[in-house]
Structure 1
Amino acid sequence: MATQTTAVEPQDPFDDPVTSNKMAVRALIPLLITFVLGTLCLQGFNLVFQQVGADVGAPNQASLITAFPSIVLGIVCFIYGSLGDFVSLRKLVTVGLVTLFIGSLFGFVTNYFFTANLWTVIIARVLQTAGEQVAGSAFLVVATKYLRNDLKVIFFGLFTAAYQLSASIGVFAAGMLSSIAWQYLFLIPSVTILFLPILLKTLPSKSGNGQKVDAFGFVIFGFATAFLTLFFSYMAWWMLLVSVVLYVAFGFYINKAANPFITPAFFKNTRWLRAISLILVFYFVNYALSPIFNAIGTNIYHMTTTQVSLHIVWAFVVAAVVGTCSGMIIGKIGIKAGLVTAGTLMFVGWTGAAFCVNSGFVVLTMWACVFYAGCGMMYSPVVSTVLGTIEKDESGRGVGMNDLAMNVSPSIGIAIIGSLLGSNALAGHSITGTTGVAANYSNLLLIGSVTALLGLIVFFVFKKKIYEGNHALENDKANA
């Protein structure tokens, strides 16, 4: 009796939970290294941009070297994450790594072998920024969609640890290379092109949900975000007006379009709105501690910026260590307890520093370490919480919105804190007992303290609603 054989189509490894985890982990490691090297390069140029501007004969326009890449970063953070729901991650990462490699070679060759020029530096940095952010966005999308919940918190923790560690290493690398030739900074992330063969084998090839990319919607939202980022760089109110008009136009568009990349229903998800408010509040003053400490060191302790940075770098190291361990910690105490612990550390760090402005810079550095320990622990539970409020097929857009909130909220905060810092508007007296210019710094640190406390209050007020059916808690050992 003849038996009939039927051809079986090969199964996509990302369709099976077991193989999905294995494939995702293999992809996440090179993506993380790519993100680290790209961020290291970013932080390095942020440190030496004034020297670069002087070397290329444009000292007065040196800030553009950091401004333009920052604008691009604000746009692509959202767009790349959202595209992860529509476009094959394999294709997206391929384009990103190639763009990063081209930007690296272009920047080094044109500025080392030929006459260094401001615009070749800016173009190269824009290409590098656009390319390396693909790795960061793809990392978060892969971790969200394809990892088990107990592994998600671990890799989210590694992500924030990698950012903090690369930020600190970037400062030292820039200082070292600037004494040789700053052009070598361009080459740091170029080696990531070697990861492309690995990523082509380990990233999912299927194109998201199969829907056509809403290019027009992305363009409107991208320009709106660009003008919003420009406003916080230059504080030109017409830019804010243009941004608001474009966001309003975007709102009308997604209500009328047949297949917008993000629907009005996404923004009507009240659980998501409550959860994203945690990011907006907790991250509001995250950029402010370093400039406040730099001002304290300079004006009260008569230190140089280099001396201040040698103290502050230990806070970044603490953040990296805590971030690395945060997945294990969250696995033991749970997402909710982890978020509360992180917020409390941030509150204590701000408050302790506010009361110790005149107690010595080493003491201030210790409080900075407490604050950054909270920052290192915060990322994993808050991102898991927010992404747990949306469906997994929308996780790319969720990642994009998270990135947007984490960039815009602290940009607003540093604009406000920066103006108060420069004007000494809060000088004179403080409840901490300081007077004169020291009172200005104490009061600014107290603003950070109140912001962290507000974040904790928002969490406890919204906690019940946020975690109703939150799939981030499926394996939360602390969830009763």
Structure 2
Amino acid sequence: MTDTATTVGTPAADDVDEATNKMAVGALIPLLIIFILGTLCLQGFNLVFQQVGADVGAPGQASLITALPSIVLGIVCFIYGSLGDFVSLRKLVTVGLVTLLIGSLFGFIANYFFQPHLWTVITARVLQTAGEQVAGSAYLVVATKYLRNSLKVIFFGLFTAGYQLSAAIGVFAAGLLSSLSWQFLFLIPSVTIFFLPLLLKNLPAKNGNGKKSRCSWLHGLRSGDSFLTLFFSYMNWWLLLISIVLFVGFAVYISKAKAPFVTPAFFRNVRWIMAISLIALFYFVNYCISPFFNAIGHDVYGMSTGQVSAYIVWSFVVATVVGTSSGAIVGRIGRQTAIITAGCLMIIGFVGSALLIYSGFLVLTLMACVFYAGAGLMYSPLIASVLGTLSKSESGRGVGINDLVMNVTGSIGIAIFGGLMGAKALSGGSLVGATGAAASYSNLLLMGGGVLALGVVVYLIFRKKIYSVVE
């Protein structure tokens, strides 16, 4: 049994030829740049969604600006990743980049030249999110199917580094533009359309096995996710009931349909179920840290969003450095040790911030750096472990479901924590003796740390089974 970074889903005997590998590298670089620019908007709006909510007159529903586009992100991740098993990546990328451009222009024009409104912001962010994620999903499909095994973990590491770099730029840009006009955030990814000719040249003309598969059930799944997140935002029980009905309908459909994208057998893979549960736990708080720190800076330390962003941008720089180095780190210490180490760093970041909330914003920034160091290290070994439980023919759908779970659980997390944060819940007292807003934020950070601790415990219980075949 080995625990090396180079074992990612397929054995060395199935390595690709030099021409295919060269094509993959040529496509991966522009896809990464597009992904960085597109994700930048998500992180920027994640930092300032409370300000945007106040500006559009809907502060109580402000978390939906992050939560609903995140659900769409998960859905399109699944669609793009799954279609990567069947249809041309060229077509997917073309549709995605055009959609991103439309969303960027609509968001800026509708909210800058006209009265901004919550649903014009959400609609534009949904279009941008649906468009930009084509780059992320295509990147993972290309890296999984067309890249040499020895390069996979390296490019997975670059992917998570790119995500953290985009987060750093997004936080910095949002902090800068929050004092000018947050509407300009919409325009940043519009330049990605100029990468389309290069991608059409390098992406494969054909892809997958040529078999057709039905995806109409995705509408039910997407609606189920949406109603579930709306339930956590509005706490109306009929929304939860609708969500349950839609999920049951999804389960019935895939058990009866002749050619669904994902069959019931896919969900009977016990090793995959165990591995995917780790993504749900470790990424449940994925969208929380920036709004937490923005709120703490404003309510506890009297700081502006621009001042907050000048501090926490360094935590994303740390994540970028660690993410870039994650391939080498995992290669040296192994996937299992890397996941445990990353999880512990994320826990320390959340719990340390909760206990040191009165110690100064610089100390809190250091705790954020610890959290994001763990986040930067986590992605590569965790995704490699999950994809390692699937066959190569299922890799596209595996990538899609990974992103679906990551973003849907993250959107539910921000809906729950964002709602509690906005209501100043749990403000009666805390372990550190804080009261008011500081107590609320401290308690919420402890809750987030508890979710991450559960992730580490589940991994320690399941890891032998997860690696039982691959390793």
Check whether the contact 1:104–1:187 (CA below 8 A) recurs between aligned residues: yes
Check whether the contact 2:344–2:374 (CA below 8 A) recurs between aligned residues: yes
Deviates more, 1:33-42 or 1:97-106: 97-106
Structure 1 residue 245, shift from structure 2 partner = 0.8
Check whether the contact 1:74–1:225 (CA below 8 A) recurs between aligned residues: no
Find the counterpart in structure 1 of residue 6 from structure 2: none
CA distance in 2, matches of 1:358, 1:124: 38
Structure 1 residue 420, shift from structure 2 partner = 4.8
CA distance in 2, matches of 1:288, 1:352: 15
Check whether the contact 1:50–1:59 (CA below 8 A) recurs between aligned residues: no
SS in 2 for 1:239: helix
CA distance in 1, matches of 2:85, 2:204: 12
Structure 1 residue 212, shift from structure 2 partner = 1.2
Per-residue CA deviation, residues 11-35 of structure 1 (Å, 9 max, x unaligned), is xxx9943322221111111111111
Instruction: State TM-score, norm by structure 2.
Output: 0.86
CA distance in 2, matches of 1:292, 1:327: 30
Deviates more, 1:201-210 or 1:364-373: 201-210
Code of the residue aligned with 2:57 in structure 1: it is P
Find the counterpart in structure 2 of residue 272 from structure 1: 272
Find the counterpart in structure 2 of residue 10 from structure 1: none
Work out whether 1:78 is the aligned partner of 2:78. Answer: yes
Higher RCO (C-alpha 8 Å, min separation 6)? 2
Structure 1 residue 235, shift from structure 2 partner = 3.6
Listed as ranges, the matches of 1:294-373 within 5 Å are 294-373=294-373
Listed as ranges, the matches of 1:249-264 within 5 Å are 249-264=249-264
| Higher CA-based Rg | 1
Code of the residue aligned with 2:426 in structure 1: it is A
Code of the residue aligned with 1:452 in structure 2: it is L
Structure 1 residue 128, shift from structure 2 partner = 2.3
Deviates more, 1:14-23 or 1:254-263: 14-23
Give the unaligned 5+ runs of structure 1: 1-13, 474-480
Find the counterpart in structure 1 of residue 190 from structure 2: 190
Code of the residue aligned with 1:190 in structure 2: it is S
Check whether the contact 1:98–1:131 (CA below 8 A) recurs between aligned residues: yes
Find the counterpart in structure 1 of residue 173 from structure 2: 173
Check whether the contact 2:428–2:439 (CA below 8 A) recurs between aligned residues: yes
Instruction: State TM-score, norm by structure 1.
Output: 0.84
Find the counterpart in structure 2 of residue 59 from structure 1: 57
Deviates more, 1:256-265 or 1:82-91: 82-91
Question: Structure 1 residues 447, 67: CA separation in 2 closer, same or farther (over 3 Å shift)?
Answer: closer
Question: Structure 1 residues 187, 312: CA separation in 2 closer, same or farther (over 3 Å shift)?
Answer: closer
Find the counterpart in structure 2 of residue 404 from structure 1: 404
The percent identity for this pair of structures is: 66
CA distance in 1, matches of 2:286, 2:65: 22
CA distance in 2, matches of 1:354, 1:285: 14
CA distance in 1, matches of 2:364, 2:179: 30
Find the counterpart in structure 2 of residue 286 from structure 1: 286
Give the unaligned 5+ runs of structure 2: 1-13
Per-residue CA deviation, residues 423-458 of structure 1 (Å, 9 max, x unaligned), is 44364352xx53544555444333333333322221
Structure 1 residue 80, shift from structure 2 partner = 1.8
Structure 1 residue 71, shift from structure 2 partner = 4.3
CA distance in 1, matches of 2:370, 2:222: 36
Question: Structure 1 residues 233, 29: CA separation in 2 closer, same or farther (over 3 Å shift)?
Answer: farther
Find the counterpart in structure 2 of residue 236 from structure 1: 236
CA distance in 1, matches of 2:402, 2:273: 11
CA distance in 1, matches of 2:429, 2:45: 37
Deviates more, 1:436-445 or 1:313-322: 436-445
SS in 2 for 1:85: coil
Deviates more, 1:376-385 or 1:115-124: 115-124
Find the counterpart in structure 2 of residue 3 from structure 1: none
Find the counterpart in structure 1 of residue 142 from structure 2: 142
Check whether the contact 2:319–2:375 (CA below 8 A) recurs between aligned residues: yes
CA distance in 1, matches of 2:195, 2:350: 40
Find the counterpart in structure 1 of residue 429 from structure 2: 428
Check whether the contact 1:228–1:243 (CA below 8 A) recurs between aligned residues: yes
Code of the residue aligned with 2:433 in structure 1: it is T
CA distance in 2, matches of 1:357, 1:176: 25
Structure 1 residue 342, shift from structure 2 partner = 0.7
Code of the residue aligned with 1:217 in structure 2: it is W
Check whether the contact 2:220–2:246 (CA below 8 A) recurs between aligned residues: yes
Listed as ranges, the matches of 1:80-229 within 5 Å are 80-108=80-108, 115=114, 118=117, 123-177=123-177, 184-229=184-229
Question: Structure 1 residues 150, 241: CA separation in 2 closer, same or farther (over 3 Å shift)?
Answer: farther
SS in 2 for 1:327: helix
Check whether the contact 1:232–1:411 (CA below 8 A) recurs between aligned residues: no
Structure 1 residue 386, shift from structure 2 partner = 0.5
Code of the residue aligned with 1:75 in structure 2: it is I
